[in-house]
Amino acid sequence: MMKRFVVLAALGILLAGTLFAEGKKDEAAMAKGGPVKLVFSSVSVPEDAHTKAMTVFKNEVERLSGGQITVDVYDSGQLFTQQAEQDAIRQGTVDMIYTSAQWNAQFIPKLSMFGAAFTFQSYDQMTKTFNGPIGKKLFDEIAATQGIRPLTAYYLGTRQLNLSAKVGPVTKPEQMKGVKLRVPNSPTWIAMGKALGANPTPMAFGEVYMGLKTGAVDGQDNPLPTDKNAKFYEVTKYIVLTNHVVDSTWPTINEKKWESMTKQQQDWVLQAVEKARQFCDKTVQDNEANLLQFFRDNGITVIDNPDRAAFAAYAKNYYLTEGKDLSKDWDLALYDEIQKIK
């Protein structure tokens, strides 16, 4: 009798456990189809194209979902610093932020090659890489290992050389020898200066204008909107359209949050992100194109067609020789595949 009681008790426990598990599944299924609120945080300022793209995303996903998905947008570092928001999305204390290859390279070292000089030589090459099969594979890897999922890549801008009259017109990397090029004070940026053929000179951003004016540095590199906003055109003579870093930023969602959504909700998010990407990319490209005439009107000589192939070859050789400590973790087969994308 006792043996029979034990068996029945065990069966009862098993049945209760099964019913509990089924109840949890039903509860999860019900929750998965419910309303979704997303908190989207960025340190970018209101004037930035990718900041405005946050509102484009918000309006579109709320429209597509009929209000089933709502988005609260916080810019200008209202919630987190740039470093803190990178941690917060992994912890799930914020739903969405902008991240990038550079921010994820500390966890997946091969991603550092996407911040190197001339990995990308054009906007088309960058967006076809990140917003195509290669990008999908990279983003899936980040989701699987980091618990965050990049959804797409927005265009952030392209860095160009900006040089003083003393340097003269530059079209090839050999002409950068001895040029004191201001760079941020980090190993990656210093390596980039060397990869351009220059003598990299670390300097705080706030000191660059005076550094150019006094000759402490002979040049600097930034996207064109930064050159305008910082008024570097007042103390330089040349802008060389090297396109040496075609930068991107990735709207990214916490993976658990993503998995809590239905397939339909995920599709709405992806459609809205794509609309915001098109807005951001066009805005940045239009700004860059329009600024060239502004610089010309202000006495800057714009070198439209430097030998980018020579610059790219020089950079690759540097990273594989003197800069091999940085490139040792790169996926060189993938690097070569990317170079075939036009």
| pLDDT score recorded for residue 31 | 54
Minimum mean pLDDT range among 102-106, 165-169, 314-318: 102-106
- Provide the whole-model pTM: 0.77
Looking at domain 158-246+291-339, which CATH architecture does it have?
A: 3-Layer(aba) Sandwich (3.40)
Cite the DSSP H helix spans in the chain. 2-32, 49-64, 82-91, 101-104, 123-130, 133-146, 187-195, 208-214, 224-229, 255-259, 263-297, 308-320, 324-327, 332-339
d(CA 13, CA 306): 76
Hey, what CATH class is 34-155+247-287 in?
alpha beta
Domain ranges of the chain: 34-155+247-287, 158-246+291-339
Please work out, in degrees rounded to the nearest 5, the angle formed at the alpha carbon of residue 289 by the alpha carbons of 210 and 100: 75
Helix (H, G, I), strand (E, B) or coil at 159: strand
pLDDT at position 198 over 90: yes
| pLDDT score recorded for residue 36 | 97
Helix (H) or strand (E) holding 180: strand 180-183
pLDDT at position 8 over 70: no
Cite the DSSP H helix spans in 261-340. 263-297, 308-320, 324-327, 332-339
34-155+247-287 and 158-246+291-339 share one fold: yes
| pLDDT score recorded for residue 15 | 42
Mean pLDDT score, 123-147 = 97
State both tokens at 223: 């996207």
pLDDT at position 193 over 50: yes
| pLDDT score recorded for residue 325 | 87
**Radius of gyration, alpha carbons of the chain:** 25
Long-range contacts of 202-206 (CB under 8 A, 24+ apart): 205/230
| pLDDT score recorded for residue 206 | 82
Q: What is the mean pLDDT of the chain?
A: 89
Helix (H, G, I), strand (E, B) or coil at 156: strand
Query: Using one digit for the tens of pLDDT, what is the confidence trace for 305-321?
Result: 999 999 999 999 999 99
> Which residues contact residue 88 at a Cβ distance below 8 angstroms, ignoring those fewer than 6 apart?
41, 79, 80, 94, 97
In the chain, the percentage of residues whose pLDDT exceeds 90 is 70
pLDDT band at 30 (very low <50, low <70, confident <90, very high): very low
Higher pLDDT, 153 or 76: 153
Query: Using one digit for the tens of pLDDT, what is the confidence trace for 35-89?
Result: 999 999 998 878 889 999 999 999 999 999 999 999 999 998 899 987 789 899 9
pLDDT band at 342 (very low <50, low <70, confident <90, very high): confident
pLDDT band at 7 (very low <50, low <70, confident <90, very high): very low
| pLDDT score recorded for residue 112 | 86
| pLDDT score recorded for residue 128 | 98
